[in-house]
């Protein structure tokens, strides 16, 4: 019997889905519910041969798709957005089922894909190039943006729908075809999502625009990254993955769009609205069970308010309902798997050994504290540590779990230095009512926050799609989603036309 959500989404009979599989093999990967530890279904894996077929068909599909005028491509994306709207609830629930985020966040994730589809529809009439005056008489100069090619999209487990959306919806209006390699921890969401897009595009007469390869990194991931037919590889995941992918793509002089790990901090000044700050820190630190790239991992708080603030945080943490992500009263679901629990436990031990003081949490949730059906799940307690001083080595790493490290400071300059001391540079925030402190954090000289995202009086996670999303330093430098992120999916051509009869050279060079 297939899971009812697979039936609702029309993928129970999908050729890739093996509903009865309970164990992974060379050919099938089983997707497990992190909430229960039970298998949901198996998914057939691609191998070298089927990868090759997909890549070759993407090249052919690109040749057809780029000939479709951009506003017409936008019509296809509009219809995909509408189809996703219709499936918002079951698809959001499948996200929650497969990766363990709570139902509201699962649905919110699909809403993000709907939003980026809307954005992309508008964009399909706004792929503007500049015109510039030529220095030569009777010459005209302008630039145009052209489709780039088939795009390889590699996604992480924790946003199994929206990260594809950010890439695929923009790539589609830009005239590109997407080949998506999802995480093997969330292949069912990928099949359901891709099917919606592919069905709509096919019904409108466009085959092969959205393709999927599901396989191991050895058989499929590395092959895609090294494949010269893909001028752009957009890869979301850990810094470790980004280093490997970045090197291979650079060695073939391809383009990379890297969206990697974060180690995000919030600075709280003594003049901040503390209620607002507490709510934002709690959501940022425990939302998605600490498994967002933008999760708040470090709180850097003025020493004069630290004790009272941490007390409030700890009280809030004690009221958090941990449990089944599909139950509406749950605020925190499970970690993705047992490896994630082990890395949570390693970080907790390291923090203790390095002299940090445990404030709240610190353990996995004992199976005896869980209802029977959740006892195979991977639940941990949201955790707060106070650092012994301004440095704590474990806090320099991204542990993909709900652990918040608290540091104190006396001067804002000191807080900024601590904030910027980590290798990653994704998201950052300050809570203050002082214009001076806020502007210092956002200083136009670049000496404030060193991150790609900087917020004042709101937390580090929950970005809107309208802005360009991404981070600096070890986060990889990529930008996706809004603003002019679309330019990554196109190639720029500078065009110069001589409409006169003179042979005129730039820089006044005479060659006669």
Task: Please identify, using beta-carbon distances, which residue of 136 and 487 lies nearer to ligand NAD.
Answer: 487
Token pair for 236: 């979301």
Burial of 179 (0-12, 13-18, 19+ CB in 10 A): buried
Residues whose CB is less than 8 angstroms from the CB of residue 399 and which lie 6 or more positions away in sequence, other chains included: 290, 297, 343, 344, 346, 347
Residues 366-405 that bind ligand NAD (CB under 6 A): 398, 400
Shortest Cβ distance from residue 71 to ligand NAD (Å)? 29
Short-list 196, 113, 219, CA closest to 160:
113
Is 98 a binder of ligand NAD (CB under 6 A)? no
Tokens 């890739």 appear where?
Answer: 16
H helices present in 66-102, as ranges = 70-86, 88-99
CA distance 414 to 303: 12
215 binds ligand NAD, rule: CB under 6 A: no
| Sequence-separated (6 or more) residues with CB below 8 Å from residue 467 | 453, 481, 482, 483
The residue among 112 and 176 lying less far from ligand NAD, judged by its C-beta, is 112
Between the two ends of the chain, the Cα-to-Cα distance in Å is 82
Active site residue 218: no
**Residue 444 CB neighbour total at 10 angstroms:** 7
Please identify which residue in 50, 238, 337, 498 interacts with ligand NAD, judged by CB under 6 A. Answer: 238
Could you confirm whether 259 is annotated as catalytic? yes
Paired sense of beta strands 427-431 and 453-456, if any: parallel
Write down the least CB distance from residue 431 to ligand NAD, Å. 23
245 in contact with ligand NAD (CB under 6 A):
yes
The catalytic residue among 239, 289, 293, 451 is 293
Active-site hit among 109, 259, 269, 398: 259
Q: Annotate each residue in 457-476 with x if it binds ligand NAD (CB under 6 A) or - if it does not, as one string.
A: --------------x---x-
User: Among 84, 96, 156, 430, which residue sits at the site for ligand NAD (rule: CB under 6 A)?
Assistant: 156
Residue 325 CB, nearest approach to ligand NAD (Å): 18
CA–CA gap between residue 327 and residue 102 (Å, rounded): 8
| Radius of gyration, alpha carbons of the chain | 24
CB 332 within 8 A of CB 382: yes
Cβ atoms 277, 433 nearer than 8 A: no
260, 286, 394, 395: residue in contact with ligand NAD (rule CB under 6 A): 260
- Considering the complex, what minimum distance in angstroms separates the CB of residue 511 from ligand NAD? 49
Stretch that binds ligand NAD, among 92-100, 254-262, 268-276, 453-461 (CB under 6 A): 254-262
Count residues binding ligand NAD (CB under 6 A).
28
Nearer to ligand NAD, 68 or 153 (CB): 153
CB of 398 to ligand NAD, least distance (A): 6
244 binds ligand NAD (CB under 6 A): yes
Minimal CA–CA distance to 250: which of 225, 284, 285? 225
Q: Which residues are catalytic?
A: 259, 293
Interface with ligand NAD (CB under 6 A)? 154-159, 181, 183, 217, 221-222, 225, 236-238, 241, 244-245, 259-262, 293, 398, 400, 426, 471, 475
């Amino acid at each position: 019997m297939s899971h009812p959500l697979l039936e609702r989404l029309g993928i129970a009979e999908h050729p890739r889905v093996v509903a009865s599989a309970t164990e992974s093999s060379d050919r099938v990967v089983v997707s497990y519910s992190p909430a229960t530890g039970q298998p949901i279904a198996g998914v057939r894996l691609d191998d070298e041969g089927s990868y090759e077929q997909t890549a070759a068909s993407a090249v052919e599909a690109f040749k057809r798709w780029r000939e479709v005028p951009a506003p017409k491509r936008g019509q296809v994306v509009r219809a995909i957005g509408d189809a996703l709207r219709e499936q918002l609830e079951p698809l959001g629930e499948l996200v929650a089922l497969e990766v363990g985020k709570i139902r509201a966040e699962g649905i919110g994730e699909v809403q993000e894909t709907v939003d980026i589809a809307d954005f992309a529809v508008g964009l399909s009439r706004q792929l503007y190039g500049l015109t510039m005056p030529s220095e030569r008489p009777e010459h005209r100069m302008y630039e145009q943006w052209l489709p780039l090619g088939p795009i390889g999209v590699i996604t992480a487990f924790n946003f199994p729908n929206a990260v594809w959306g950010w890439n695929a919806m923009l790539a589609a209006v830009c005239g590109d075809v997407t080949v998506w390699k999802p995480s093997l921890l969330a292949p069912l969401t990928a099949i359901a999502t891709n099917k919606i897009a592919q069905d709509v595009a096919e019904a409108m007469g466009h085959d092969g625009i959205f393709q999927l390869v599901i396989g191991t990194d050895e058989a499929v991931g590395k092959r895609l990254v090294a494949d010269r037919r893909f001028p752009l590889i957009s890869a979301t995941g850990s810094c470790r993955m980004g280093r490997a992918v970045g090197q291979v793509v650079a060695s073939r002089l391809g383009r990379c769009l890297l969206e990697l790990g974060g180690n995000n901090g919030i600075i709280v000044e003594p003049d901040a609205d503390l209620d607002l700050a507490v709510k934002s820190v709690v959501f940022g630190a425990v939302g998605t069970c600490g498994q967002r790239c933008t999760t708040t991992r470090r709180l850097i708080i003025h020493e004069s308010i630290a004790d009272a603030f941490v007390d409030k945080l700890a009280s809030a943490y004690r009221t958090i309902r941990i449990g089944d992500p599909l139950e509406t009263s749950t605020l925190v679901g499970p970690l993705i798997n047992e490896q994630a629990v082990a890395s949570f436990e390693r970080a907790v031990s390291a923090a203790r050994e390095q002299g940090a003081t445990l404030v709240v949490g610190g353990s996995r949730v004992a199976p005896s504290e869980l209802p029977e059906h959740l006892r195979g799940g991977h639940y941990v307690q949201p955790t707060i540590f106070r650092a012994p001083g301004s440095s704590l080595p474990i806090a320099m790493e991204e542990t993909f779990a709900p652990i918040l490290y608290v540091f104190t400071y006396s001067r804002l300059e000191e807080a900024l230095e601590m904030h910027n001391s980590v290798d990653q540079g994704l998201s950052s925030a300050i809570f203050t009512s002082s214009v001076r402190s806020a502007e210092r954090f956002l200083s136009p000289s670049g000496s404030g926050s060193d991150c790609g995202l900087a917020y004042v009086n709101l937390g580090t996670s929950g970005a809107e799609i309208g802005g360009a999303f991404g981070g600096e330093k070890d986060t990889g430098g990529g930008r996706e989603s809004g603003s002019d992120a679309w330019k990554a999916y196109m190639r720029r051509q500078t065009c110069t036309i001589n409409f006169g009869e003179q042979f005129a050279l730039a820089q006044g060079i005479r060659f006669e």
